[in-house]
Structure 1
Amino acid sequence: MPSTSSLSPPCPVRPSFLLSCFANHSPVLPDSWLARWQLVVSVAAVFNTVQNYATLKFTRRIYNAVPPHSPVTALQARTFSAWTLTSAVVRIYAAFHIHDKTIYDMALMTYLIAFAHFSSEILIFRTAKMNIGVLSPVLVASSSLIWMISQYDFYVKP
């Protein structure tokens, strides 16, 4: 039986340490922070996909600038779910193939499309007002774009 001094200390309960605890104890996770970020965003997208099939409540928080009889319908939520799940699959694949130019480019494009969509809903179509529901995907998409573009030459080698 191993001594207690050779065992890793338990992970703190605070959410900010969960990813690093899991990453330090799992040989199956990608080896870079950008790849791990792709995985985290993908897992969140899968949960968002399930949520969109279950209820319109959270989708209506994003598209919150429309009248009570809004265009947020069950059909629209399922379509949004299909896109979200598709982007999650691309990003999961990118997490484990971060050096593959084609996959990297596809993942980068998913963030560009998401950023364009949410920005246009806020600025052009005016179906969304700034709140946490719409700010979250805008921040994730924009920060991911900046990170991926700035690290492109590091991860994608000719």
Structure 2
Amino acid sequence: MNALDSVVALLPHEPLPQWLTLVSVISIASGLNALVNPIKYSRNLYSANVTELVYGLTMGTFLIALAHFSSEVFVFKTMRLSGTSVSPFVVATTSALWMWSARSIYVPQLF
């Protein structure tokens, strides 16, 4: 029995285990490729420009936080606007306004 026959004998004989073996071999090869050439790998994998999307999502999370804390204070009255509870308002408001005013610097314009 040669080396190739020994390797083939170790492989699974059912379709699902064969598929999982193939996926694991491809994953290992992909991981090694990422280790050997990380810049090229990441550029090929993440080639889309998502700056505008990520910027919008980040600004949106600050607006959601502001809405959440505002509802706790003004609607549900489960939080008072004093002491440490002021900081979420300051952070959310400052961040959202700053991101809105600086958007043209960080997000490329189409026109």
2:107 equivalent in structure 1: 156
Name whichever structure is richer in helix by fraction.
2
> Map of 1:26-105 to 2, 5 A cutoff?
100-105=51-56
2:66 equivalent in structure 1: 115
Larger Rg: 2
Aligned length: 60
Moved over 3 A (4+): none
2:76 equivalent in structure 1: 125
Q: Deviations over 1:84-110 (max 9, x none)?
A: xxxxxxxxxxxxxxx810110110011
Structure 1's unaligned 5+ residue stretches are: 1-98
Asked whether 1:136 is paired with 2:87, we answer: yes
Q: Deviations over 1:13-61 (max 9, x none)?
A: xxxxxxxxxxxxxxxxxxxxxxxxxxxxxxxxxxxxxxxxxxxxxxxxx
TM-score for the superposition, normalised by structure 2: 0.51
Aligned residue identity for 1:119 = S
Distance 1:130 1:101 in 2: 33
RMSD: 1.3
1:146 to 85, 97, 100: 97
